[in-house]
Chains A and B, each alone.
Chain A
């Protein structure tokens, strides 16, 4: 098989993977070729409007597992292909040098065994780094059941690691992916989080842990920490009726945010207990482990889960593993199975879009999953974005006075984004903010006017009736709401760029010296 055919087969098999950003780490060229940009770079957009950043392929699609929803499952009748490590590394470099891509996203089917596959992946990444001197971005997917030593070694080559959480509920797991045990998914996530703490590199998602240093004992996840213990317990109780109530997969919002006794969780003296800590303890101080952190993805719409279950699992993953990002992938029916949605059903794109908006509220706006989707409303409103839906359910806290509100309060106003909230706070240090100013600041007034006052004056609908406002927003939003729908997978325009690092806010920093003299002189 030549490289054309392999590329066709192995790119085709990887295309449903959604986590393709190249963000999370900034690095100047420390090899022969390559660098990384913190906010990530999109290189092109496919016909379905998704950003292409990395060369995203499977190393092999020759799988020995049999997951129901997957085109590559053992029992499927399809063309099988496997790259040679050097072949793929060479292709990556050629693409990279022409600026087609920002780096490599490498995943794989399980060729014969998870470790055997991981070794091949490691070989490929090492070739890329060492032989070709590649200093660009690498995202490596970790297969369930790969040994800790290999995860560690791959983490030394890759910028980001991810393990698919696959399903937000236990039911999904049990039904659709018989050979994967959720424990094998969460255990490596735990290892990666701990390894990041050891390398003082755990940053957490968005602004969720802003201002906190996560790299301390409190966040170390021992196999016996409460979170993990509950996961265990629930997994052991798999056979029991109520087993779907696993800590992560239970669908309840987060209750425990911290282990009770942090001290118990660190094993200072005994590094041999688990293989990887032993590897870790021998590490060189300057070693860099997965500097862009960890992410995961869940399939939406294949196992009958509610949005509440999805967001509760997402929030718990953020709070427990502190990973950078949870991706959602609207299930595209590729396989006909009695267990799965019909092959003719449309992928739930609208739902995926609203989930991304909700995820954004979790990471950047200080919302809890419980506020967004409660027990009495387990699904997101398809017509309105989750922030305004929340506001309409909580009219009692509005209107908010922009000239005195805290940053957190400002962020709760529909139509006010991170950047505009920051601008409001900055301007009012010198000059109070008027209604006219808000527009220039970037606030979407058509929406925001119902929820704020400027120096005591209110500009919205006096009745403050949720139904009236809802009608008003839906009506005038017609165009915009729809276009938000169609404009891409992560949704609202603000969600597009730097979807991980947050809106790129340019702030005056008088101490930064800029060299425009050189720039000016070159003309």
Chain B
């Protein structure tokens, strides 16, 4: 049994898939920094190689399908444990059966990756709604800032949505868990490491609109129908930390 260890990048994972074919079978793929050594398994560190990664990338795109490539990438961004090994198995099956892989719902490899992808997709839908911006800075230069803590590493998947929608406002969506952010202005965006320290203070009007929003939120609940269980089903507690309507203070 051999486990391959990689550096945590998608290229790294693709390189591992390459090596699986050209230097010997991998039984599992894991991040080097999270790996727990065991007596039963050998492991070897695979150095990320852009050329090999690109080969695998293109092979998946052509021999399986762009859909499956996207699916694998999204699954890779999920927080599901063992996702790299699942993706390896998906790729192996995909290279055998081609683009019909996504129709073989009974296959464990397909099911696993589909579930992981689904986790990300669900969170993308959720975060389109629950990201909350605060206006920072006074005078001319205003920044819209939103802190988030998603389960999956997914802010890049909501970047396009917000950057198109708020084309005329400069904004930052800050993933506090991963210390990175989507930074966007004029309809363009990029991902970068990010520190909260550099932020300007709140806009003087900000508190007023927060207050109005809270007022609205509290007003529209129908007392006769109160149902906290149902509310928690859609809005788990872990997502509430930065929701304006659920908190009185804080950015």
Measured between beta carbons, the chain A residues less than 8 angstroms from B135 are 97-98
Interface size on B, residues (CB 8 A): 73
Contact A46 B209 (CB under 8 A): no
Interface membership of A207, Cβ < 8 A: no
Contact A16 B235 (CB under 8 A): no
Nearest residue (CB) in A for B227 is A49
Contact B166 A97 (CB under 8 A): yes
Interface membership of A506, Cβ < 8 A: yes
Chain B nearest Cβ from A33, distance in angstroms: 6
Chain A nearest Cβ from B248, distance in angstroms: 16
- Taken residue by residue from 123 to 155, chain B's Cβ proximity to chain A (1 for < 8 Å, 0 otherwise) reads as 001001111111100000000101000000000
**Assuming the A-B contacts A426-B103, A427-B103, are A99 and B227 also in contact, with contact meaning beta carbons closer than 8 angstroms in the complex?**
no
**Assuming the A-B contacts A44-B243, A441-B105, A487-B230, are A99 and B132 also in contact, with contact meaning beta carbons closer than 8 angstroms in the complex?**
yes
A-B contact count (CB 8 A): 207
- Taken residue by residue from 155 to 174, chain B's Cβ proximity to chain A (1 for < 8 Å, 0 otherwise) reads as 01100011011111100000
- Taken residue by residue from 68 to 83, chain B's Cβ proximity to chain A (1 for < 8 Å, 0 otherwise) reads as 1110010000000000
**Assuming the A-B contacts A48-B226, A98-B209, A510-B99, are A55 and B231 also in contact, with contact meaning beta carbons closer than 8 angstroms in the complex?**
no
**Assuming the A-B contacts A427-B103, A427-B106, A519-B73, are A15 and B233 also in contact, with contact meaning beta carbons closer than 8 angstroms in the complex?**
no
Measured between beta carbons, the chain B residues less than 8 angstroms from A497 are 125
Measured between beta carbons, the chain B residues less than 8 angstroms from A366 are none
- Taken residue by residue from 29 to 49, chain A's Cβ proximity to chain B (1 for < 8 Å, 0 otherwise) reads as 100111101010111111111
Contact A41 B129 (CB under 8 A): yes
Contact B215 A48 (CB under 8 A): no
State which residues 249-286 of A face B: CB under 8 Å: none
State which residues 109-131 of B face A: CB under 8 Å: 110-111, 121, 125, 128-131
Chain A nearest Cβ from B182, distance in angstroms: 9
Most buried by A among B69, B103, B128, B132: B103
Contact A47 B226 (CB under 8 A): yes
Contact B11 A520 (CB under 8 A): yes
Contact A523 B224 (CB under 8 A): no
Contact B212 A45 (CB under 8 A): no
- Taken residue by residue from 97 to 109, chain B's Cβ proximity to chain A (1 for < 8 Å, 0 otherwise) reads as 0011011111110
Interface membership of A476, Cβ < 8 A: no
Contact A508 B165 (CB under 8 A): no
Contact B134 A523 (CB under 8 A): no
Which of A102, A486, A510, A522 is within 8 Å of B156, CB to CB?
Answer: A522
Measured between beta carbons, the chain A residues less than 8 angstroms from B161 are 35, 37
> Which B residues form the contact surface with A (CB < 8 A)?
9-11, 57, 65-70, 73, 99-100, 102-108, 110-111, 121, 125, 128-135, 144, 146, 156-157, 161-162, 164-169, 187, 190-191, 209, 211-213, 215-217, 219-231, 233-235, 243-245
Task: Jot down 8 A-B pairs with beta carbons below 8 A, ordered by A.
Answer: A7-B212, A15-B220, A33-B165, A48-B221, A48-B230, A95-B216, A98-B134, A522-B190
